[in-house]
Amino acid sequence: MSFAQTRPASRFDLSHTAPQAPGEWIMRGANFVVAYANLPAGAMLERDNPDESIVYFPDGMARITAGDDVVECGAAATVVILPPGPGLIEMTGAGRVLRLFSSAAQDLAAMAANAVFYADGAPEVAPMRPWPAPYDGYRLRHYRVEDYRDRPMRMFRSATLMINIFDFDGPRDIMALSPHSHVDFEQGSFAMSGEWVHSLRYPWSKQLPDWREDEHLAIGSPSLLVIPATVIHTSRSTAQGGNQLVDIFSPPRRDFCDLGYVCNGAEYPVAETEGDKE
């Protein structure tokens, strides 16, 4: 694939980007949609979604309702998975909310700030095919992130989405970075806190005019980078104190599931076919 065919990375520094809905920023990849808001107590988000969605509350207090199920989220960081159908988020305290949807949320995908990037359907990205339903059926699920602090990765998944929550205390060791690429899927990297540099190296073609210089994108938080397929990338925190990054994939990654990295992996079967790998 030449650079002329390589989709550009979508970069959003939310402090310099207008929201796409009242108080909410909406961005997308080929297979996923990201919505972020910093909401006051009493705010409500209501949606009837065609498939599961994942919501990350890094600090907000909320009551989530889906059908007859209700979950109360306290001040601790929480991941909630909503089943298909109507769902309501009621903020019982002010805080940040990161909502993640598959591209089946077509109305949100069309509202995304970078929707024009995907007008061609992103043929270089493997299409999003939902994995099997959870063993005990679709229902409201919630997880306190702190309960998994001893795991190598704090990773959670649904049938269509996967997130990985990274925390770095201070700048990342520049002698221990992890450059890699993905053959046919994108990665979203949402900076929830701190300062970051995302480094990107685009593939070469036989045509020199297609070549592009490496990029080292310095960005604060909150922000989102959608990394195209085939592009070599790595990210490093640069600020003192806490730096948090949430990586986003759709569909879930089979390699991480097979390695046992997924905190709620026992609740969901994996796809029967071999998933995309690094």
Q: At 214, which CATH number?
A: 2.60.120.10
More confident residue, 201 or 205: 201
Residue pLDDT, tens place only, 111-142: 999 999 999 999 999 998 999 999 999 999 99
Q: What would the mean pLDDT of 246-268 be, rounded to a whole number?
A: 96
- What is the pTM assigned to this prediction? 0.94
* Angle 217-10-207 from CA coordinates, rounded to 5°: 80
Please give the pLDDT value at position 5.
55
In a domain? residue 126: yes
Residue pLDDT, tens place only, 229-243: 999 999 999 999 999
Whole-number average pLDDT of the chain: 93
In a domain? residue 277: no
* CA atoms of 203 and 2, how far apart (whole Å): 7
Q: What share of the chain is helix, strand, coil (3-state, %, to 5)?
A: 10, 40, 50
pLDDT at 46 over 70: yes
Q: How confident is the model at residue 20 (pLDDT cuts 50, 70, 90)?
A: very high
In a domain? residue 271: no
In a domain? residue 201: yes
In a domain? residue 166: yes
In a domain? residue 147: yes
Q: What would the mean pLDDT of 147-167 be, rounded to a whole number?
A: 94
In a domain? residue 278: no
Number of domains in the chain: 1
Please give the pLDDT value at position 153.
84
3-state secondary structure 93-117: CCEEEEEEEECCCHHHHHHCCCHHH
In a domain? residue 31: yes
Please give the pLDDT value at position 1.
38
Beta bridge partners of 177: none
Q: Which residues contact 62 (CB under 8 A, 6 or more apart)?
A: 72, 73, 89, 90, 91, 92, 93, 95, 97
Q: How far is CA 193 from CA 39, 73, 126, 169, in A?
A: 16, 20, 30, 11
Q: Which domain holds residue 94?
A: 3-266
Q: How confident is the model at residue 278 (pLDDT cuts 50, 70, 90)?
A: very low
Please give the pLDDT value at position 276.
45
* CA atoms of 146 and 136, how far apart (whole Å): 24
Please spell the DSSP secondary structure of 34-57, one letter per residue: EEEEEE-TT-EEEEEESS-EEEEE
Beta strand spans in 194-277 (E): 196-201, 215-219, 223-227, 232-237, 242-249
